[in-house]
Amino acid sequence: MAKRQARFTPQELEDDPRLKDHSPTLWSEAESGEVGRRLLSSAVRCFAANGFHATTTRDISGGVGLSPAALYVHFPSKELVLYEIIRVGHERALAHVRESEAESEAEAAAGAGTGTSDRLRLMMRRYTAWHARHHVAARVCQYELNGLTPEHYEEIRELRRRTNEVFREVVARGVADGSFARVDVNRVVRGMLSLGIDLVRWYRLDGTDSPDELGEFYADLALKMVTGTGTTDTAPDGRSGRTGTSGNGSARGNGRKASGSSVPATGQGGPDLAGRARGGPGVGP
């Protein structure tokens, strides 16, 4: 039997370069208070490295030099800490994607002639870069959903559905106006969002690609998915049709746990941040 990996201490998490990103900026002192913001930042690191269920309130409070009781002054339960992280992460990512649409619409209104391809490129670039900059919080958003109460889980499902719909509308528009090939909209959107989400397992800010560089690369891949060959007889609404790929190709994740197996962490030392495949419905923030 494989030996179970030891939990990581708050000090180890504080010093680990793989947990350095912009996630702490997701919460302002005006919204959460100075101590609340620090507790959320500590909780993000703990949940990402050790998982929600293996993290204690002592871990979270100890990460900012407070007693375990200090957490309950700001959050009645550990689950509410998780909910705040996941809710804010999904809301911020959705807002970032919608900003790209608003920017494209403003350019079109000004006569800049922004086409559907440009809109999709901008959206994918921003979506990818956001996840890279906030990869620690985004990892918690993806892999710790099963720690939420049923009520909170349903709220997050709705936010995920809205994100999916923003992408789906752009791809469907491109299929309808002839900018894109007649692809299966649902499958293509699932693939695009999976690209942007999967990077949270391995990305680190001190790596070879900056968030913007990775965003540009994934934007190119997204355009190739809608302008290439190999898909035929698909309705613009994405509800029917065949693709040129073989196998299942469409993991419809309506459950609260993903079926993937653990993936080894990259050999950089530090916590195992990659092996918790506990995703939620379909696509993420």
The predicted structure's pLDDT at residue 253: 39
Cα–Cα separations (whole angstroms), residue 247 to 189, 217, 240, 250 = 18, 26, 16, 9
Residue 214 has pLDDT above 70, yes or no: yes
Please report which confidence band the pLDDT of residue 284 belongs to, taking 50, 70 and 90 as the band edges: low
Q: Is residue 275 part of a domain?
A: no
Question: Does residue 15 fall inside a structural domain?
Answer: no
- The answer to whether residue 170 is domain-embedded is yes
Structural domain includes residue 201? yes
Residue range 130-168, pLDDT digits in tens? 999 999 999 999 999 999 999 999 999 999 999 999 999
Question: Is 194 within a domain?
Answer: yes
Evaluate if residue 186 carries a pLDDT over 50.
yes
Question: What pLDDT, on the 0 to 100 scale, is given for residue 264?
Answer: 29
User: Is the pLDDT assigned to residue 101 strictly greater than 90?
Assistant: no
Query: Which amino acid belongs to residue 41?
Result: S
pLDDT of 251 strictly over 50: no
Residue 41 domain-assigned (yes or no) = no
Q: Which domain holds residue 224?
A: 86-243
For helices 116-133 and 150-177, what crossing angle results, to 10°? 150
Alpha-helix residue ranges (DSSP H) falling in 110-149: 116-133, 135-143
Asked whether residue 132 is domain-assigned, the answer is yes
Neighbours of 200 (CB within 10 A): 24
Cα separations in angstroms, 119 against 102, 144, 191, 203, 264: 10, 31, 17, 25, 35
269/214 Cα distance (integer angstroms):
23
48 assigned to some structural domain = no
List all residues 6 or more positions away from 76 whose beta carbon is below 8 Å from its beta carbon. Answer: none
Q: What's the total number of domains in the chain?
A: 1
pLDDT confidence of residue 68: 85
DSSP 8-state assignment for residue 54: T
Q: Please report, for the domain that includes residue 100, its CATH number.
A: 1.10.357.10
